[in-house]
Amino acid sequence: MKRREFITKTITAGLAAGTALKLGGFSTLWAAEPAGSAKPYDLVAVRNGEPEVMFDRAIESLGGMSKYVKRGQTVVVKPNIGWDVSVERAGNTNPGLVKSIVEHCFKAGAKDVYVFDNTCDLWTNCYSNSGIEAAAKSAGAKVVTGNSERKYRDVQIPGAETLKTVKVHELILDSDVFINVPVLKHHSSARVTVAMKNLMGIVWDRRYWHQNNLQKCIAEFAALRKPDLNVVDAYRVMTRNGPRGVSEADVSLMKQLLVSPDIVAIDAASTKIFGSEPGDIPYIVMAHEMGIGTMNLQTLSINRITL
């Protein structure tokens, strides 16, 4: 598949595979004409606002959080809290966005809202220095750890050829509603990490994935427990040296947000922010072919909101 040529300035990110992603900014996802007033929307893209305000507009456009969270239900919100870095480094999900999502869940009548991640760095530092623990607790969420193997249960992946069995955190298996909140960024192994890749934070053993066709494992696992809602934080975007990043120089202020119940569609849309195409990312193609969701954005009703 040939990539489009973009007018805007591009930033290249070196990848392990020897290729590069081009950061296309607004000219990629926002090139198409805005969708009409037809509803319901399959995906909402918002730009030029603060994370909390952009989410307010996006969830309202989709019909409100009560469409996904019912009174008395238990909700698990899964951000990326994997790295012991500051908010400005953009290695983790924006804490203000996490707080806003938790607040919307409670307004919709949620009984309990849990926030957790199986971190890569020491979990106490990740939770604290990301700002997510404090933000989530201030909104009333119960922040729990993901570092205890006894909290994970063996689950078989239906139809999987590579990732047949995996230990999944009990919150994902037992909660009524699952909201997936990744941060969009470059990844040295997966090329780009978004919603499907963020699910690696709900399993116990990630080493197997990296040792046995990472791209295929990402796609196969997405068939197990599709999130009820996916919210992609593209406010600050790490354009190189991901997933941890080296410094703030790796980060571009994009001020964008994507929301969709379709995990494949939202990953496909996220590639546009990098100036890439969904077909350039193997796990997106695999998940599309498995019928987990669609990467054909032209078939979707997309609401594009500029603040």
Alpha carbon of residue 108 to chain centroid: 22
Q: 245: which strand partners?
A: none
Three-class SS of 217-243: HHHHHCCCCCCCEEEEEEEEEECCCCC
Please give the average per-residue pLDDT across 12-39, as a whole number: 47
Beta-carbon neighbour count of residue 134 at 10 Å?
14
pTM: 0.90
Helical axes 282-289 vs 263-273, angle rounded to 10°:
150
**pLDDT tens, residue by residue, 232-267:** 999 999 999 988 889 999 999 999 999 999 999 999
> DSSP state, 264?
H
Contact between residue 235 and residue 177 where contact means Cβ atoms under 8 Å apart: no
Say if residue 25's pLDDT is above 60: no
**Residue carrying the six token digits 């973009």:** 6
Q: What is the mean pLDDT of residues 184-190?
A: 87
Residue 97: is its pLDDT beyond 60? yes
The Cα 262–Cα 257 span in angstroms is 15
End-to-end CA distance of the chain: 33
Q: Identify the CATH homologous superfamily for domain 43-306.
A: LarA, N-terminal domain (3.40.50.11440)
Which residues are within 8 A (CB) of 33 and not within 5 positions of it... i.e. 6 or more apart?
Answer: none
Residue 17 has pLDDT above 60, yes or no: no
> How much helix, strand and coil, in percent to the nearest 5, is found in the chain?
35, 25, 40
**Can you tell me the mean pLDDT for 92-99?**
98
